[in-house]
Amino acid sequence: QETGINLCVYCNKKGLCGKCFVEIVKGKLQPLNEREAFFIEQKGLAKNHRLACLYKIEGDIEIKIPEESVIQETFILQTGIKSLILINPPVKKYYLKLKKPEIGFPYSLLDLLEKYFRKKKLIIHLDLLKKMPDLLEHSKFFITTTLYNDREILSIEPNDTLSKNFGIAIDVGTTTVVVELLDLNTGKSIDIQTSPNNQIKYGSDVISRISFAFLDLKNLAKLKNSILNTLNEMIRQILERNKIDHSFVYEIVLAGNTSMNHFLLGIPVKTLAVAPFHSVFTRLSELSSHDLGFKISKYGKVYIVPNIKSFVGGDISAGLIAADVGKRKGNYLFIDLGTNGEIVLKTKEKFVTASTAAGPAFEGMNISSGMLALPGAIYKAEYKQRLVLHTIKNKPAIGICGTGLIDLLSVFLDKGIITAKGKIKNKTKKIQITDHIYINQKDVREMQLAIAAIASGIRMVLLKNNLKLEQLDGIFIAGAFGNYLNIKNSKKIGLLPQISEDKIIFIGNASLAGAKVLLLSKPARKKIESLVKKIQYFSLATNPLFQKYFIEALEFKNLEIKKYDLMSK
């Protein structure tokens, strides 16, 4: 890690996930511990492999790092959903020629700008003020001025730079990060880039990372620097690729869950770590890009999409704006399937939200042969006289991602290899899929827990609002995971409820789509600020029925909301 090699230490270096094996080519081969011996046998590795996170270097060694032990580029849906908006960004550029001061009219240089913009008082940074005399003289008073929210000067540039007006939308996920470069004048998407969230090395889920940050403020700094360095490198690459100077990027809009927002800002997570589990902030005014450490325009801005409540963050509020859920008449569920499972119910009268700790199994983590959605990952499986596997980019199969796991569970359930209670019937308690890819009993249990978290959450939210499934007008499935989801298989194992397929709407990376809307539209920001105030938070953990429903949902069966649910309220 210190030399820039990002090993897959999803369990925060506890030796629990078995993802960071390296081959000891030369040097001391330390005795195998129990966990290593287990993983080596399960994965069919040579005896000279060791878990990097547990190995203590006592002298010179030579190692070989398998490709699957390194975090690589993540394949996720990048475009989000199309949202119809009127382009009205907070950042606007103006090309102007100022009238030079005269003896009879000795206006100050700032007066000239205020007069031009018909403002009684403009906000300007001292450094910019110092540069104004020389800049205006050299440009003969022909300048381009960038204003933020019509009141703050972000730049004064010589001559005409109107066409160079850019912003960046960012989706900071627990597992992956997406950066999209946009032209603020036209709303056009110029380029897009994805990367793993390198905080993964400190834990695969937010709970692990909160625990890590809670132990020591130095750990919080590590989390902050990890994500900030990742984002700055992505921004550097995307700008370099498109031959755009960083000084022409004036704003970043960033959508992330509550924990990611706290980590990025370096805000202590004590309030998230202990009951009643609340955040330090919900909504913030625009922040300085320079203060946060982002390498864009020196006086650029960063807008953090507002959190909702507790662990329901800005990624969800951004998704609600992107899907324009508030304008739709009727009853709708919005479900984000990922490491954290968030559910929002919109009824005719109100919004209610809940969060469930689904864990990283949907993204291939904590699964023996699991992996992120990378080339070579099995993302689809079906049975046509034999088991047929489909991999990302048609590469040789090297592991299984979330959607592939759901398909495989459905197939094995149909074939009687797995019982409805999740028990693998054969004696080895292991299902071999290819020579080196398999699912064992622990993997099935991990998926049962993840599915039960989502299914019981849906059931509880509907129950809370006295709604039956047939009263739903639609279910929005957000997240890259949802875009490749097989609806029939998801319903068969109980992940999704028994509802007509035409009512299930895949909306892709709604978090990124919402960030783009907010980057390009000032009115959308007022709208989202108002929306988050309306949303009621429903705590599943404090409801005595949740445990009952969670246990029931552990069984692979169709999720139904029955009459007795409503009566038992």
pLDDT digits (tens, 9 = 90+) for 19-59: 889 999 999 898 998 878 888 987 889 999 999 999 999 89
Q: What angle do CA 547, 548, 551 make, to 5 degrees?
A: 80
Do 474 and 496 meet the contact criterion of CB atoms below 8 Å apart? no
**Whole-number mean pLDDT of the chain?**
88
For residue 218, the surrounding DSSP H or E stretch is helix 217-241
149-173 residue pLDDT tens: 989 999 999 999 989 999 999 999 8
pTM greater than 0.95 (yes/no): no
In angstroms, rounded to a whole number, what is the distance separating the alpha carbons of residues 459 and 153?
50
Spell out the residues 6+ positions from residue 312 whose beta carbon is closer than 8 angstroms to its own: 257, 258, 342, 344, 353, 354, 355, 535, 537
For CA atoms 333, 334, 337, 338, the dihedral sign is: negative
For residue 563, the surrounding DSSP H or E stretch is helix 563-567
Q: What counts of helices (H) and strands (E) characterise the chain?
A: 17, 23
Do 145 and 94 meet the contact criterion of CB atoms below 8 Å apart? yes
pLDDT score for 411: 95
Do 186 and 245 meet the contact criterion of CB atoms below 8 Å apart? no
483-510 residue pLDDT tens: 678 999 999 999 988 899 889 888 888 8
In angstroms, rounded to a whole number, what is the distance separating the alpha carbons of residues 307 and 280?
10
Residue 45: C-alpha distances to residues 22, 40, 309, 317 (Å): 10, 5, 45, 44
pLDDT score for 275: 80
pLDDT score for 293: 96
pLDDT band at 11 (very low <50, low <70, confident <90, very high): low
For residue 104, the surrounding DSSP H or E stretch is none
Which comes out higher in pLDDT, residue 567 or 146? 146
Do 374 and 73 meet the contact criterion of CB atoms below 8 Å apart? yes
In angstroms, rounded to a whole number, what is the distance separating the alpha carbons of residues 114 and 117?
5
State CA 534 to chain mean position distance.
Answer: 23
pLDDT band at 17 (very low <50, low <70, confident <90, very high): confident
Of 298, 33, 359, 6, which is closest to residue 155 (Cα–Cα)?
298
Share of the chain above pLDDT 90, in %: 60
In angstroms, rounded to a whole number, what is the distance separating the alpha carbons of residues 283 and 530?
10
pLDDT band at 366 (very low <50, low <70, confident <90, very high): confident
Q: Does residue 563 surpass a pLDDT of 80?
A: no
73-113 residue pLDDT tens: 433 334 445 557 778 899 999 888 888 888 877 788 999 89
Q: Does residue 540 surpass a pLDDT of 80?
A: yes
φ and ψ of 316, to 5 deg: -80, -45
Count CB neighbours of 528 within 10 A.
23
Q: What angle do CA 343, 347, 353 make, to 5 degrees?
A: 25
Q: Does residue 372 surpass a pLDDT of 70?
A: yes
Q: Which two tokens stand for residue 172?
A: 């900071």
438-495 residue pLDDT tens: 999 999 999 999 999 999 999 999 988 999 888 999 999 987 665 678 999 999 999 9
pLDDT score for 186: 86
DSSP class per residue in 305-354: PPP-BTTB-HHHHHHHHHHTGGGS-S-EEEEE-SSSEEEEEE-SS-EEEE
Q: Which residues, in sequence order, are bridge partners of residue 354?
A: 343
pLDDT band at 222 (very low <50, low <70, confident <90, very high): very high
Q: Is 376 left (phi over 0), alpha (psi -120 to 50) or beta?
A: left
- DSSP code at position 535: P
pLDDT score for 81: 53
Exposure string of 210-236, with b = 16+ CB inside 10 Å and e = fewer, is bbbbbeeeebbebbbebbbebbeebbe
Count CB neighbours of 519 within 10 A.
26
**Sheet of strand 301-304, all strands in order from the earlier edge strand to the far edge:** 189-196, 176-183, 166-172, 249-256, 301-304, 287-288
- Bridge-based pairing of strands 176-183 and 189-196 is antiparallel
φ and ψ of 134, to 5 deg: -65, -40
In angstroms, rounded to a whole number, what is the distance separating the alpha carbons of residues 259 and 531?
20
In angstroms, rounded to a whole number, what is the distance separating the alpha carbons of residues 266 and 260?
10
**Sheet of strand 351-356, all strands in order from the earlier edge strand to the far edge:** 504-508, 474-478, 332-336, 341-346, 351-356, 536-537
Give the gyration radius of the chain's Cα atoms.
Answer: 26
